[in-house]
Amino acid sequence: MELQLLKNRFGIIGNAPALNHALNVAAQVANTDLSVLINGESGVGKEVFSQIIHALSSRKHNSFIAVNCGAIPEGTIDSELFGHEKGSFTGAVENRKGYFETVNGGTIFLDEIGEMPLGTQARLLRVLETGEYIRVGSSKVQKTDVRVIAATNKDLLEFTHKGKFREDLYYRLNTVPIRVPALRDRKDDIILLFRKFATDFAEKYKTTPVQLSDEAKTMMTQYPWPGNVRELKNIAEQISVLSKNKQIDATALDGFLPEMHNNKLPALSTGPGAVSQAEFANEREILYKLFFDMKKDVNELKKMFFEIVQHPGMNSHVPVYTGPNYQEINQDHPSEETTTISKSNLATPVAPLLIRKEQNTSEISVHEDVEESLSIIDKEKELIVKALKKHRGKRKDAALDLGISERTLYRKLKEYDIEHL
């Protein structure tokens, strides 16, 4: 199919070379039964490519289903994909067909394939290699003829090195790779997409389409668009609904773009073992919460210290420090009484302050600060433990409190070898 006709049929806007190449590959591979792995950041439109492949294939008159592997709990994903027998687990009150059975003859799109548990990956590999699967709780082998298209915003090859993804499944899925470019790599397409979205929302809300000034267009192309096309569409809708003036200049646009575009963050390392931009974004929220809790605890500790300074008689109630540095300090100052101010119930351990009380005086002076661990991994682990204790081991509530998904929390529990509380 001619490229422009393909774009018109599926509503694809843009002329970036990387986008055109991805569309050409999708069109060429569509009429085969090869497995396809679509790579790209969140929000670039990976599902549209899966729909293109299905619509141009010989399976176009059969079923198509999109499954978000990251949104299905680990305990039920096998049942969702392969079905289960009555009584195979608690709640299995009847036989149930899985997606691979109901979509037989069609196409299944597995989004966020990197979040799939290792056990399910082994089952999926068998389906890809032999077309066979077994329902949960059954011993009967069943056959299916389903084309699998997978998508991910993770570096699956790096995941295989870390043992988080099966290497044999990676190469089985990656028969034909398609890379969907990020919006920041399609700068010439940004204004075209915005104009299309603005026109669509003007029709939807019965208003006049908004237009950008030259300065606003420049600001649009310079913004990094971490949410890609999805974020651009949201911004276009906000402007269409909330802006009273339909001529948008740079000042007006600045009120709609997130403050992120003003940040001058250091570039992340791209060397071996470096954290990818996507992984950094997923962990950023939990780190922010960690640092805020640390600041709160330090302020409480300072308050305790000043109360003791103002009321020397309170020293008798302050616990004596018996940690590893206590003996060393006594050797340096054998004639001094060493006392520690600590807070045993802090969520994040804070370095204890050692204070010295001179003999025959009531004056208290700061003696030494013991350096605390600054490891982000240690702090993240401690915060996760705190959240689990707070919610009495309920992972769902703990994940909500931490600002992460339940699946991400489960992955962290396994990564840090944290026992379920």
- For Cα atoms 217, 222, 225, give the angle at the middle one, nearest 5 degrees: 105
| 8-state DSSP, 148 | E
One digit per residue, pLDDT tens: the chain, 421 residues? 689 999 999 999 999 999 999 999 999 999 999 999 999 999 999 999 999 999 999 999 999 999 999 999 988 999 999 999 998 888 888 999 999 999 999 999 999 999 999 999 999 999 999 999 999 999 999 999 999 999 999 999 999 999 999 999 999 999 999 999 999 999 999 999 999 999 999 999 999 999 999 999 999 999 999 999 999 999 999 999 999 898 999 999 999 998 753 444 444 444 444 444 444 545 655 665 666 677 677 777 777 777 776 666 554 444 444 444 444 444 444 444 444 444 444 444 444 444 444 444 444 444 455 555 567 777 888 888 888 888 888 888 888 888 888 878 888 887 877 876 5
Going from the C-alpha of 186 to that of each of 16, 232, 267, 281, the distances in angstroms are: 6, 12, 20, 21
Q: Is the C-alpha dihedral spanning 407, 408, 409, 412 positive or negative?
A: positive
d(CA 162, CA 156): 10
Please tell me the distance from the alpha carbon of residue 133 to that of residue 14, in angstroms, as a whole number: 41
CA 319 remoteness from chain centre? 42
The answer for residues whose C-beta is within 8 angstroms of residue 5's C-beta and 6 or more apart is none
Q: Are strands 147-152 and 36-39 parallel, antiparallel or unpaired?
A: parallel
pLDDT at residue 239, rounded to an integer: 94
> For residues 123 and 81, is the Cβ–Cβ distance under 8 A?
yes
Q: Which residues contact 326 (CB under 8 A, 6 or more apart)?
A: 338, 340
d(CA 18, CA 8): 18
Listed residue (101, 136, 106, 107) closest to 120, CA to CA: 136
Tokens of 47: 């599902």
**φ and ψ at residue 166, rounded to 5 degrees:** -70, 130
> How remote is the C-alpha of 317 from its chain's centroid?
46
Token duo for residue 309: 């300074």
Q: Is the separation of the CB atoms in 103 and 147 below 8 Å?
A: no
pLDDT at 398: 83
Q: What 8-state DSSP symbol labels residue 365?
A: E
The pLDDT score that the predictor gives to residue 286 is: 65
Q: How far apart are CA 34 and CA 39, in angstroms?
A: 16
DSSP calls for 32-68: S---EEEE--TTS-HHHHHHHHHHTSTTTTS-EEEEE
Distance CA 320, CA 174 (A): 61
From the DSSP assignment, how many helices (H) and strands (E) are in the chain? Answer: 17, 12
Domains of the chain: 3-181 (3.40.50.300), 184-262 (1.10.8.60), 286-369 (no CATH), 375-415 (1.10.10)
Give every CB contact of residue 411 below 8 A, 6+ residues apart in sequence: none
For 197, other C-beta atoms within 10 Å of its C-beta total 22
Question: What's the rounded Cα separation, in Å, for the pair 285 and 394?
Answer: 20
- Measured between alpha carbons, how far is 275 from 285 in angstroms, rounded to an integer? 15
pTM over 0.85: no
